[in-house]
Amino acid sequence: MGIIKSAFSFMSATVFGVYIAQNYNVPNIKKLSDTAILFAKHIEENYRKPKNRGDEN
């Protein structure tokens, strides 16, 4: 009985997700995360402490 309940929950969530994606303006999470990572890299490069020439370890 547990696998049927799990499969039903998975299928209903999938159908609900497809319905929401088709009928509402849902942001693209992949594009949003790529933008956030690019922004974080830009901030890190601009505000990183300069390396000391004596610290090579």
Cβ-contact 2, 8 below 8 angstroms = no
Tell me, what's the pLDDT at 47?
Answer: 86
> In terms of DSSP H, where are the helices of 1-57?
2-23, 29-47
* pLDDT for 54: 63
pLDDT score for 55 = 57
6, amino acid identity = S
Distance of CA 13 to the CA centre of its chain: 19
* Per-residue pLDDT at 23: 94
CA quadruple 28, 31, 37, 40: dihedral, nearest 10: -80
Closest to 32 (Cα-Cα) out of 40, 24, 20, 23? 40
pLDDT in tens, the chain (57 residues): 678 888 999 999 999 999 998 999 988 899 999 999 999 999 998 888 777 776 555
